[in-house]
């Protein structure tokens, strides 16, 4: 089957029920998308499918042949993504960094959908977990990015 990830279409020899996460990490060797819980709860595996934040560990590749999939590796080519990364760096959000690609992807998707999002909107839209507890730094970065 074909998958288009970060603007590049590749032919992959995978089963239709393969989780998108493993197609990205194992087949395409894009390691920025992380495996956390594997059950759609933590958000470490968040990517964008047609601009929508999606937990790739519970999303089979079946039906994604015409979708545009974006991972953290391409996020700085997006103007909103570049702004989010800048805010993340400014506020030194990352500690261990494991969850950060998912946090950034969820934030970019929210801001693309709602450029005038408030901090309260962000609190509802972003439910990614961070085991280091960097929530104060995440909130500071989100405060810069929201109206």
Q: Using CB under 6 A, which of 14, 28, 43, 130 touches ligand FES? A: 43
In contact, 103 and 128? CB cutoff 8 Å: yes
Say whether residue 40 binds ligand FES (CB under 6 A): yes
Q: Using CB under 6 A, which of 24, 42, 48, 111 touches ligand FES? A: 42
Nearer to ligand FES, 43 or 91 (CB): 43
Cα(1)–Cα(10) distance, integer angstroms? 8
Residue 83 DSSP SS3:
helix
Least Å from the CB of residue 41 to ligand FES: 5
Say whether residue 49 binds ligand FES (CB under 6 A): no
Least Å from the CB of residue 36 to ligand FES: 4
The residues near 120 (Cβ < 8 Å, ≥ 6 apart) are: none
Single out the residue of 93, 98, 127 nearest to residue 110, CA to CA.
127
Cα(54)–Cα(60) distance, integer angstroms? 11
Say whether residue 41 binds ligand FES (CB under 6 A): yes
Residues in contact with ligand FES by CB under 6 A are 35-38, 40-45, 55, 57
């Amino acid at each position: 089957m074909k998958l288009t990830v970060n603007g590049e279409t590749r032919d992959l020899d995978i089963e239709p029920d393969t989780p998108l996460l493993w197609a990205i990490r194992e087949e395409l060797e894009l390691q920025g998308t992380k495996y956390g819980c594997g059950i759609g709860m933590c958000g470490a595996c968040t990517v964008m499918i047609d601009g929508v934040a999606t937990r790739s560990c519970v999303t089979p590749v079946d039906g994604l042949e015409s979708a545009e999939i974006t991972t953290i590796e391409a996020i700085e080519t997006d103007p909103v993504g570049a702004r989010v990364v800048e805010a993340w760096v400014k506020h030194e959000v990352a500690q261990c960094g494991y969850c950060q690609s998912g946090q950034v992807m969820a934030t970019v998707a929210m801001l693309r959908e709602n450029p005038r999002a408030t901090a309260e909107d962000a609190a509802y839209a972003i439910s990614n977990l961070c085991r280091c507890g960097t929530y104060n730094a995440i909130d500071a970065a989100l405060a810069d990015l929201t109206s």
